[in-house]
Structure 1
Amino acid sequence: MSAASNIHSLLARLLPERIVPAPARPGQRHRLFAGVGMPSQQALPGERFGLIDRLDEAVDLQAVYHDLCRQALLGNVAALNDLGWIWLNGKYWRGDTSLAGHLLRMAALQGNAAAWFNLGQQHYFGKGVDVSYANAAEYYRHAFERGMVHAAAALGDLYEEEVCDGDQVWQVDALEAYQWFLRGAQRGEKRCRFEVGYRLLHGVNVEADARAGLYWLELAAATGVMHAAEELAVYFSSRDAARYLGWRDQAIKLGSKLALTMKLEDQIQP
């Protein structure tokens, strides 16, 4: 029997016939985990009807579930990841972290980057498993290597995070965090671009380099990162009036209360 046949046979046994509706009044832990991970089938920028839209607007979730199962059984690895992601969250139907882990591993071993990322999220938050930053980091690396640039931001955050409870072994490493933010920035991840720009501009854990910092911040701000536009407005407020006004107004468009306060202060100054 081929590996694909083995996977198909196992999957057919794992998938229940019917889903169980999510609790009408979810508890605090359920609400906390509702946004964990990400589906493979996402809407393109400016478009709708990725998987989340489909689930949010579904009249019959059972029908959506059966369709995802059908796709997964036909070999659609993205659908397999998405089933695991839904069971991991428990937002659309009652969660099952054990089943989620099985499905995500099956998708990950077939090369799905989102599944590796979701396994990282499962171990980071301890959803049905012990919290393990080391395991989360390993899975995030696999996701990044398979093309998920967002995993670089998750790794950067992870290497700056101290373990507040539990007895797991984990070492904060600011340089490693910066290197992951830099890898993500070089691959176009917009939040990573902000993190790199901020550190270079202010000399946080790296040697200050204002020119390089401004370069990364401008790239981030141009793609909608509000905090990057704020940083640029603050930096240019005492250096370049035209660039200050441009980035201040850009930050306001992106929803910045800080930039709006700056504009009001500018208006009352003599």
Structure 2
Amino acid sequence: MLNAIDKLAALSPRRAFKRAGELAGEQQWQRAARLYSIAAEAGLAEAQFALGEAYIAGRGLSQNPREAARWFLRAAEAGHVESQCRLAGMFIHGLKAPSPDQAASLFGEHTQPTETANAADFPSALLWARRATEAGSADGEALLGYILSNGPDDIRDPAAAELYYRRSAAQHWPQGHLGLGMILMRQADTAEKTVAAMREFEEAVKADLPTAHYLLGVIHEQAVGVLPDPARALTHYRKAAIHGIRNAQAKLGAMLLAGHGCAPDPIEGESWLRRAAIAGDPEAAALVADLYARGGALPPNYAEAALWFRVAAEAGHRVAARALGMLYLTGAGVARDPEEAARWLARAAQQGDIVAGADLGNLMLRGDIRQSSVDGLPIHEWFEKAAESGDLIGAFNYGVCLAEGVGVKRDDARAAIWLRRAAEGVVNAQYWYGRLLFEGRGIPADPVEAHRWIARAAETGMVEALALLAEMKLHGHGCPRDHAGARDMFLRVAANGHAGAMFALGALYGGGHDIPTDRIEAQAWFAKAAALNHPVAQLMLGRYLRKGLAGPPDPVQAARWLNRALAQGIDEARIDLAELALPDAPQPRQAAGD
């Protein structure tokens, strides 16, 4: 509410404006805004500008940039230079002028300007910056320099931009110094030119311009034309970060984390990185995530790591996408979900991350994800690109794609070439190449050479290689027949839960081999393999139980295992089941749960 003095001042626009200034000095914002409004409605340009500023800052009025623009426009049209500069700045930052059919009521009571983020209206900004420049405004000259150096091609004029920045800087306007410094830095090809650009930035930081602080931080950190000075860089980054410059926050956080130019401070470093990440910096988000994933100075927190990896990945950070995929694959910080892991690995791979492409391919080749999850993805192309770059894992994965026809027509001959190349350094490739030699796929069969490569893989403890090597010993493929050696190797593999090795032990102990027959031992191994759903082991266990080869016959359990083998496509089980059903055969009871 206005008091008597305010009401008396309101009778004259000039007195109202003066009284409003006094009230603003006392932070009586609402009363000041009322008087500014009275003077502005009366056509006083200074009051219109002040009212616009009040709407921008939300002092005494609700913050309203559109309403601010309406008052700046009225003052600008009356020749108020500061308002012309304000309008130019607002158009640069996304204020859109109305279409021609709206021009007559520009920013009127029923017409509001529209604002579109990151969509500057350079032609409108140019109009008002020129008007301010014609009046000799240093601010207008700096704005004009910015428009001419950053606007669209039909407006851009680098030479004129430099001229206007120089004119603004000559009037000691900080934004003029900043703009001129940026132009000089882009042109700098000698230490002298870099120093000249630095002088302009140093003039700008006298007015505490945050962008100037950030640029000086970069110069001192990266030794651009000067000796490295991480301590000075840290000081400038901190000043820019406090003013909300996102890149400075990220730089400051990383330097504090690493102790670059200061003692390491992971707590404050994480705080600044987090601010930059919240502001949309994907690299900062990835650094925060990595900080929590690795642990160390801060305790590991995989849930927190997953949150920030997701922020970074959604902003296009490919390494973060791969890391998030691995968290979903292992279940660290998130529920284990191979399909979700595949989705993030695919996103990273599509952005050129070779390692993510390999990880995704391995998931698919192992059968850990549904084929539909990767349909349409050029996985074989990612592998081929990695292989051609000399990456041995990429060569292995591409070879497997060719051997299995994954995403590309099966080509055993080309598969053998890539797998042979990868076998020099990749254990899995040694096993796969050995298999191709053993089976004669794509290259002439060579059991001796196959044995050599599979033995190399087996030396590392690779279970599949050990199993195949034991089979080769059993049958004398590429090496002398050695049933006892095969048994010992199958025992080693079976200890790793390999159902095929368990079945092979059952067959070895069952008789007909160069080791003593032991049907009790054979039945025990068939039972272990059958429990792991090995179909032929289920058939053999059913036969042992039906015939009582290792103890009393058990027709009930025999029928149970024979039916399970039949359900898996082992048609021979029908004959054994028919034998059980003969009149003189023991009649099986229905087993619980079958």
Give the Å deviation of 1:42: 11
Give the Å deviation of 1:170: 4.3
| Residue 356 (structure 2) pairs with residue 259 (structure 1) | yes
Cα deviation, 1:22-57, whole Å, max 9, x if unaligned, reads: xxxxxxxxxxxxxxxxxxx9998699x998877999
Counting only pairs closer than 5 Å after superposition, residues 37-186 of structure 1 correspond to structure 2 as: 61-70=158-167, 72=169, 77-90=174-187, 96-161=193-258, 170-186=262-278
Structure 1 residue matching 2:277: 3-state secondary structure = helix
Instruction: Give the conservation status (yes or no) of the 8 Å contact 1:87–1:94.
Output: no
How big is the alpha-carbon RMSD for the aligned residues of Structure 1 and Structure 2? 3.7
Instruction: Give the conservation status (yes or no) of the 8 Å contact 2:190–2:225.
Output: no
The partner residue of 1:211 within 280, 303, 314 is: 303
| Residue 366 (structure 2) pairs with residue 269 (structure 1) | yes
**Aligned match of 2:290:** 198
- TM-score (ref. length: structure 2): 0.33
Measured in 1, the distance between the counterparts of 2:190 and 2:150 equals 15
Question: Which residue identity is paired with 1:104?
Answer: F
Give the Å deviation of 1:257: 1.6
Measured in 1, the distance between the counterparts of 2:198 and 2:183 equals 11
Give the Å deviation of 1:232: 0.5
Instruction: Give the conservation status (yes or no) of the 8 Å contact 1:119–1:136.
Output: yes
Measured in 2, the distance between the counterparts of 1:74 and 1:224 equals 43
The partner residue of 1:248 within 341, 345, 363 is: 345
Give the Å deviation of 1:194: 1.3
Structure 1: gaps of 5 or more residues? 1-40, 164-168
Measured in 2, the distance between the counterparts of 1:158 and 1:226 equals 23
The alpha-carbon distance between structure 1 residues 116 and 232, as it changes in their structure 2 partners (threshold 3 A), is: same
Question: Which residue identity is paired with 1:249?
Answer: A
The alpha-carbon distance between structure 1 residues 81 and 42, as it changes in their structure 2 partners (threshold 3 A), is: farther
More moved, 192-201 vs 173-182: 173-182
Give the Å deviation of 1:64: 4.0
Measured in 2, the distance between the counterparts of 1:67 and 1:98 equals 21
Measured in 2, the distance between the counterparts of 1:112 and 1:170 equals 24
- TM-score (ref. length: structure 1): 0.67
Structure 2: gaps of 5 or more residues? 1-91, 95-116, 123-146, 331-335, 368-594
Measured in 2, the distance between the counterparts of 1:131 and 1:57 equals 40
Give the Å deviation of 1:140: 0.3
Measured in 2, the distance between the counterparts of 1:249 and 1:212 equals 22
Measured in 2, the distance between the counterparts of 1:68 and 1:224 equals 36
Question: Which residue identity is paired with 2:253?
Answer: G
Measured in 2, the distance between the counterparts of 1:59 and 1:242 equals 49
Percent identity, aligned pairs only, is: 22
Measured in 2, the distance between the counterparts of 1:170 and 1:220 equals 27
**Count of residue pairs the alignment pairs up:** 224
Structure holding more helix per residue: 2
The alpha-carbon distance between structure 1 residues 52 and 190, as it changes in their structure 2 partners (threshold 3 A), is: farther
Measured in 2, the distance between the counterparts of 1:94 and 1:137 equals 22
Measured in 1, the distance between the counterparts of 2:316 and 2:275 equals 20
More moved, 250-259 vs 181-190: 181-190
Larger Rg: 2
The alpha-carbon distance between structure 1 residues 58 and 122, as it changes in their structure 2 partners (threshold 3 A), is: farther
The alpha-carbon distance between structure 1 residues 69 and 212, as it changes in their structure 2 partners (threshold 3 A), is: same
The partner residue of 2:319 within 227, 231, 235 is: 227
The alpha-carbon distance between structure 1 residues 67 and 56, as it changes in their structure 2 partners (threshold 3 A), is: same
Instruction: Give the conservation status (yes or no) of the 8 Å contact 2:174–2:209.
Output: yes
More moved, 208-217 vs 173-182: 173-182
Give the Å deviation of 1:265: 2.2
Instruction: Give the conservation status (yes or no) of the 8 Å contact 2:149–2:161.
Output: no
Cα deviation, 1:64-101, whole Å, max 9, x if unaligned, reads: 42244345557874453232133335458996132212
Give the Å deviation of 1:137: 0.6
Cα deviation, 1:127-179, whole Å, max 9, x if unaligned, reads: 4544221111110011111120111211122234467xxxxx74344444333
Structure 1 residue matching 2:207: 3-state secondary structure = coil
Structure 2 residue matching 1:255: 3-state secondary structure = coil
More moved, 198-207 vs 220-229: 198-207
Measured in 2, the distance between the counterparts of 1:193 and 1:250 equals 17
